[in-house]
Amino acid sequence: MAQKTKVKQFIVNELLFGNESLLTSDDQSFLKTGVLDSSGLLELITFIENTFGITVNDDELVPENLDSLDNVEKFILHKATA
């Protein structure tokens, strides 16, 4: 849960410039709803790597890992225990 909160804070503060209303639910697709574009996704990856001490490999760049708050949380937990 703490991971999800941190990721959400980062997206809202750094990529949406505080506009929290654009992120309405934890399973909302970032790309389909325009929360992130490809540059924003790269910034999110850098944040995840720096904050949680994990490496996002190129072959892990799939929606199942990174396209919603729920998916990001699951991915971080999976990487931490792998």
Partner 1 sequence: MKTAAKTPLPATLIHDFLEASAALYPDHCAVVCDSGRYTYRQINEAANALAASLVDLGLQRSDPVILLFRNSFEYIACYYAILKAGGCVVPINPGFTPPDVAAFIECVQPHTILVESPLLARLRECTSIRSFLVTQKDGDIPPGIRALCKKPALSLQEMLSKPCLENPNLPIAADSCASIIFTSGSTGKPKGAMLSHKNIAANTRSICQYLSITHSDIQMVILPFSYVMGKSLLNTHIAAGARVVLNNQFAFTAAVLRQMEQEQVTAFSGVPSTYAHLVNKSPLAEYKERLPFLRYCSQAGGHMARPVKTALRELLPSHTAIVVMYGATEASARLTYLDPESFHQKIDSIGKAIPGVTVTVRDEQGNEQPAGKEGELVARGENIMMGYYKDPEATHKVLDRWGYHTGDYGYRDDEGFLFVSGRKDELIKVSGYRVNISEIETCILESGLAVECAVMPEADAQGENKLLALVTPVNVSVTAEALHLYCQNKLPPFKRPRDIVIAKAMPKNVNGKIDRDQCRVHIRNHTRTGQ
What DSSP designation does 11 have? I
**C-beta of 2 vs 59, nearer to partner 1:** 59
Smallest distance, partner 1 to C-beta of residue 22, A = 9
* Number of Cβ atoms within 10 Å of the Cβ of 74: 15
First to last CA, the chain: 18
3-class SS at 81? helix
**C-beta of 1 vs 39, nearer to partner 1:** 39
Smallest distance, partner 1 to C-beta of residue 2, A = 25
Which residues make up the interface to partner 1 (CB under 8 A)? 16-19, 31-34, 36-39, 41-42, 57-63, 66-67
